[in-house]
Amino acid sequence: MPWKWYDSTLIDIEQIGPQTKVFRLEIGGKEPWTFTAGQFITADLPIHEKRLRRWRSYSIANPPDGSRIIELCVVYLEGGLASEYLFNEVRLGSSIRFKGPSGTFVLPEKLQSETIMVCTGTGVAPFRSMLLDLKRRGEFAQPVHLIFGTRNRENILYREEFENLAKEEKNFTYSIALSREKDWAGWKGYVHQIYLSAYSSPQPNRIFYLCGWSMMIDEAVNNLWQELGYERSQIKYELYG
């Protein structure tokens, strides 16, 4: 079934990190709109003459709540056509056409397994959607662990939100690894050390979800599958480049 195209209006821009912004879009029209937490949309941005060079995919960062608002968490990449457009050219009221939603990087309707989410940078976006959806639906029946990695503390995305969620939900754990922060009391280094330490003994009732750049994904898959001995079916991932 082909994806459907929608027109949306940019209604808010929020800076949430030195090089990261949240773009909130309101979908026009009256046609039904719904998505599953973890899915993405593909925007058609006016950045190139060729159609496929204009398309950029972004995970939806907010949970499905029946509204016609979607949030996109985007990091600035110097020299990137899409980054230059979104960070320097769009304004409130700008029109953004997109198709979707799509993607199978989603949780089951009801959690049956311990779930470990490993991400870096804006790879946290689909996990934020999933976690807020679990909270909304009261579905924290199984342990869920979010492991987030970045360079410095100013680049920790949605930190207060996740820390509050950890206080509210006894089955939710939140860990942060910073690779270039000297004055940091938490994990220093990369996300891999956290799950390697916490989940070194494979268990069948455990699922890993990975989201981030390809190098992180490749290393994590190798660590979990080849080094620790988890089944390949216990590892799911979404690449960001």
Close Cβ partners of 82 (under 8 Å, ≥ 6 residues apart): 45, 47, 56
pTM of the model: 0.96
- Please write the tens of the pLDDT for every residue from 123-177: 999 999 999 999 999 999 999 999 999 999 999 999 999 999 999 999 999 999 9
CATH of segment(s) 114-239: 3.40.50.80
Residue 68, phi-psi category: left (phi > 0), alpha (psi -120 to 50), beta (remainder): alpha
SS3 content of the chain, % helix, strand, coil (to 5): 25, 35, 40
Whether the CB-CB separation of 82 and 96 falls below 8 Å is answered with no
CA distance 67 to 41: 16
- Please write the tens of the pLDDT for every residue from 176-233: 999 999 899 899 999 999 999 999 999 999 999 999 999 999 999 999 999 999 999 9
**Longest CA pairwise span in the chain (Å):** 52
In terms of CATH architecture, what is 5-102? Beta Barrel (2.40)
Whether the CB-CB separation of 39 and 103 falls below 8 Å is answered with yes
Domain definitions of the chain by residue range: 5-102, 114-239
